[in-house]
Amino acid sequence: MPDLQPFENRSADHLRLVIEMGNIGIWELDLRSGRAVRNRRHDEIFGYSEPLDDWTYDQFLGHVVEEDRARVDRLQQTAIAEKREWAFTCEIRTDNGRRRWINAAGRPLTDDDGNVVKLIGQVSDITETKQNEARLQLITEELNHRVRNMLAVIKSVVRLSAPRARDIATFSQALEGRVGALARGHQLLVGNPDRTMTPSDILDTELEAFPGTKDRVRIETDGEAALQGQHSQGLGLVFHELITNAMKYGALSNDNGHVAVKIDTDEERVRILWKEHGGPPVRSDDTGFGSRLISSAIASHGSAELSFPEDGVECRIELERE
């Protein structure tokens, strides 16, 4: 048989490696003296850059946030009385005032008479895991909200587009374009983990759906602000409608016209001016669905006002930053 003694002699080293690599704090509490011995990582988890000279159970409870303190104490006292292991997750406030989440577990040790005389246990910092869980929950709730909003917009688009369509092909083309605008706005948000949804990002994305338009839309920015998802979807729909109308009737319907888009922002609002130049003479049309869609797409968090000067359509857009 192989000699296992060398491995057994190294078992303490392996245990130390597991503890160090796992960033685990370990402790042993003497119930008679009320004092505990710990490793360095234990004290680091509670916010101390250098190990403390002393540590007691009361000190530990003092770090547990008030709303969790009674539950944690009850779990430990019950485990001592019933001589069994226990485990819990709670939030703590570190020595430097930061809030962290910990996962802890312990086991009672008894003497020859069966009395609990010591507790041993471990503690680990699970703050990052908890933050990821919270972030995932927020994303899920936001996605649910976004889907409900998108379905409501699609329902409105279908309801308002149908009466104005000359035939099924016209209705299908208009509906496909408008739903596509929503999809592109959603994709831009999903594809950007930093959520830097600037108006020029959204406009560039819409222009890519119309070959040959990008060079004829000149964007001037004087500071931009990132927009929330709902804002970006609505603005994407507005840009889609403006581009479509410009290609059909306005500055992008001939070879000479262009569009100037000016974007500026302050602490509260983002302002966008869409101005067409060099197109055919403008005919006022503020009763069509496109005009109504532009007005309503961002109504909950801003405004969009169309005007029809003879030299080119103008659209003034204002959006709340948050």
Q: Which residue has the higher pLDDT, 59 or 206?
A: 59
Which CATH number is 87's domain given?
A: 3.30.450.20
Shared domain for 169 and 268, answered yes or no, is yes
Which one of 125, 151, 181 terminates a domain?
125
Task: Report which of 316, 312, 287, 313 is spatially closest to residue 303, judged by C-alpha positions.
Answer: 316
Shared domain for 263 and 145, answered yes or no, is yes
Which one of 66, 95, 125 terminates a domain?
125
User: In this predicted structure, what is the pLDDT of residue 176?
Assistant: 77
Whether pLDDT at 193 is above 60 = no
Which CATH number is 204's domain given?
A: 3.30.565.10
Shared domain for 90 and 136, answered yes or no, is no
Weakest mean pLDDT among 43-57, 105-119, 149-163, 289-303: 149-163
Task: Report which of 320, 318, 317 is spatially closest to residue 306, judged by C-alpha positions.
Answer: 317
Shared domain for 36 and 120, answered yes or no, is yes
User: In this predicted structure, what is the pLDDT of residue 157?
Assistant: 60
User: In this predicted structure, what is the pLDDT of residue 188?
Assistant: 56
User: In this predicted structure, what is the pLDDT of residue 1?
Assistant: 38
Shared domain for 73 and 217, answered yes or no, is no
Shared domain for 203 and 308, answered yes or no, is yes
Give me the number of domains the chain comprises: 2
Q: Do 232 and 242 form a contact (C-beta atoms < 8 A)?
A: no
Shared domain for 169 and 64, answered yes or no, is no
Q: C-alpha distances in angstroms, 127 versus 23, 91, 137, 165, 312?
A: 13, 9, 15, 56, 56
Reading the block at residue 143, the tokens are 């996605």
Residue span of the structural domain in which 172 resides? 130-320
Shared domain for 211 and 270, answered yes or no, is yes
What whole-number percentage of the chain has pLDDT above 70? 76
What dihedral angle (degrees, nearest 10) is formed by the CA atoms of 204, 208, 212, 214?
10
Which one of 75, 109, 125 terminates a domain?
125
Task: Report which of 285, 281, 269 is spatially closest to residue 321, judged by C-alpha positions.
Answer: 269
Shared domain for 116 and 236, answered yes or no, is no
Q: Do 126 and 90 form a contact (C-beta atoms < 8 A)?
A: no
Whether pLDDT at 281 is above 90 = no
Task: Please provide the distance, in angstroms rounded to a whole number, between the alpha carbons at the two ends of the chain.
Answer: 72
What is the arrangement of strands in the sheet containing 116-125, beginning at the earlier edge strand?
A: 36-38, 24-30, 116-125, 99-110, 86-93
Predicted confidence (pLDDT) per residue in 123-164, tens digit = 999 998 988 887 777 667 756 655 665 666 566 567 656 666
Does the model's pTM come out above 0.75?
A: no
User: In this predicted structure, what is the pLDDT of residue 2?
Assistant: 45
Shared domain for 141 and 255, answered yes or no, is yes
